[in-house]
Structure 1
């Protein structure tokens, strides 16, 4: 599959002449955080990170994300962290959308570039460094790993989109397809991070309604998404959060491909005790 550049132009500030209308939506079933609100004034700096700022676009809280946090991280040349993860129980999925950087895990350096993916198990000793002359931008998905008695922890993964097979959905002639960075048959992993692609005119032809919570960040193109009872137009740079059981469907009208980075929680029994 031929890939074009992922959306990565976050930051800046709208001009004073811009109107206040927009498509930001926050409901009990879903939220849409459009690219236009990810400005310089909503960034966070993080402990033990140098030359770094982050847009935290999802976090566990009442009435919002329950299973994950998601950041867009920008690391300046020479920046990074020797102590990136404050929670020993947190696993990480990292997807690079621009620039180059190095993640060192257990003493081994792994070079990452645009399109690279890394899965870092909970408790892993890793560091991150941007040794290039340009900023590096990546998505960082953090999740509390759900330990299962008698099941060994999952191993780390370092790969690239170009190294992964693209799986076409049945009876779609490849118009709806998925790249899976983690093996869906490996029950050791309790989350999946995929890239989902639609060719112009492709659809999700039914209202998906399921237990998995979703985070969707649009990497390329535009589409109309059905979220609960609403149709919402989204484009590259927009983020969607979908609560478990939120009905969802999609129509990719074109003119180009529509692609997004998808998170979902999988492979575990549901908790029976409300926290």
Structure 2
């Protein structure tokens, strides 16, 4: 399986600056072509890393999460990657190999590897291989609930989790769920959604969850509020709560995206 990741580099002077990036009060689209070397960021306490910040909390827009696409050179990494003790993380490896140490347990993750890291957890991440490693890092401050235990760390992979087919869709729409929806310990889900070519979301979803959607593979026409937007590998979409959405998978290969949403908690008043 090949997973899309920001291309980096820089287009040459023959390329038109007219692009397809969109930022509206209801949604944003950051096409892969915008994810270039000159928009990368770096973090203190890391070696041999750079990252694209795809989402961050912004007052009046999506507010619950941040999402980074992190690139690690060989021997790159950090012994203190997280600076917020209330932050939980999901790591999804797009390419190469990383070594995660979570509370003393060592895990080696290849492309498709997935890890959930609870808040206030000691963890490190390093690239011990000879090739560049690429991973998505989604962070959210954990919201506890009375009588509900903190979730445990776990490590799995896209390959190890069987997709669950959505009802009444003849198998063309499925979700790889790394956490069960009724597990109330978790206040966020990061799943992979897969549509076979021609598959659709057959209604305009409108719901309280915020979304970050990173296209891992394939292409689709995606409904965002009132606009149909063509998207493909490496494109990122950022949706506010209640923004209508639907899609039709196009092309000749599955359309797959990494999906963030906030779940299972009271709305703050």
TM-score (norm 1): 0.96
SS at match of 1:207: coil
Q: Alignment partner for residue 140 of structure 1, among 137, 142, 145?
A: 137
Partner of 2:267: 270
- Distance in 2 (CA, whole Å) between partners of 1:108 and 1:248 is 40
Aligned to 2:188: 191
CA distance in 1, matches of 2:113, 2:8: 22
Task: Kindly report which structure 2 residues correspond to 1:1-275, keeping only aligned pairs within 5 A, or say none.
Answer: 4-272=1-269
Deviations 1:97-116 (A, max 9, x none): 00001100111101111000
Whole-Å separation in 2 of the counterparts to 1:251 and 1:108 = 42
Q: Residues 20 and 31 of structure 2 are in contact (CA less than 8 Å); yes or no, is this contact kept in structure 1?
A: yes
Contact 2:62-2:241 within 8 A present in 1 as well:
no
Q: CA 1:63/1:23 → structure 2, altered by over 3 Å: closer, same or farther? A: farther
**Partner Cα distance (2:255, 2:103) in 1:** 37
Note if contact 1:101-1:136 (Cα within 8 Å) is conserved in structure 2.
Answer: yes
CA distance in 1, matches of 2:250, 2:80: 44
- The alignment covers a number of residue pairs equal to 269
Question: How far 1:207 moved relative to its partner?
Answer: 0.5
Distance 2:226 2:168 in 1: 27
How far apart, in 2, do the equivalents of 1:130 and 1:256 lie?
A: 31
Higher mean alpha-carbon deviation, 88-97 vs 254-263, is at: 254-263
2 CA distance for matches of 1:47 and 1:184? 35
- Compute the RMSD of aligned alpha carbons: 0.8
